[in-house]
Amino acid sequence: MDTILLLVQKMPMGIFAFLFLIGFFLLYFILYFYINKNLNQICIIVFNDKNRYKSPLELFDFIYISFIPTTFWKELLSLKIFFKFKKLYQKDFFMKMDEKKLKRLLNEFPFFFALQYSAFICGILFMCLITGSYYFEI
């Protein structure tokens, strides 16, 4: 216990960065099970084929599917908060997705989006805090 308190006193930014790293991995672990549980429904909405991927997902297939919310963040902002962007739904390098599919995915699986964005924020906070800890030697 004394060791933990000493670490918090000596390196508070490093400890918080480590906590965000743990949160990042924990959220991705939960996201993996959530996607596997709902894989058939997600594949029907996104790919129009429920047999495209089989559960349990391989690592790169999981990463591909889990990046859907972060790839279409501009489209989600235009749907939810009515921001105006010039080019929407032109992600042909990733996958073709129209507004109807994205709305359906968002309405049926909001936890999918919340988990991905939370993990993304934890990862960014980890990188910022660890860089600040190194730079400021705190």
Q: pLDDT tens, 76-101?
A: 766 666 666 566 555 555 667 777 88
Domain range for 99 is 63-136
d(CA 110, CA 128): 27
CB burial string 55-75: b at 16+ within 10 A, e below: eebeeeebeebbebbeebeeb
Band (28; pLDDT cuts 50, 70, 90) = very high
Q: What is the four-CA torsion angle of 65, 70, 73, 74, rounded to 10 degrees?
A: -100
Which range, 8-17, 30-39, 80-89, 97-106, is most confident?
Answer: 30-39
Token couple for 65: 């599917």
Exposure on the CB side of residue 45, measured as CA atoms within 13 A? 18
d(CA 107, CA 127): 31
Cβ neighbours around 131 below 10 Å, total: 12
Whether 74 is in a domain gets the answer yes
Q: How many domains does the chain have?
A: 1
Whether 23 is in a domain gets the answer no
Whether 130 is in a domain gets the answer yes
Q: What average pLDDT is seen over the chain?
A: 84
Whether 107 is in a domain gets the answer yes
Whether 72 is in a domain gets the answer yes
Q: pLDDT value at position 88?
A: 57
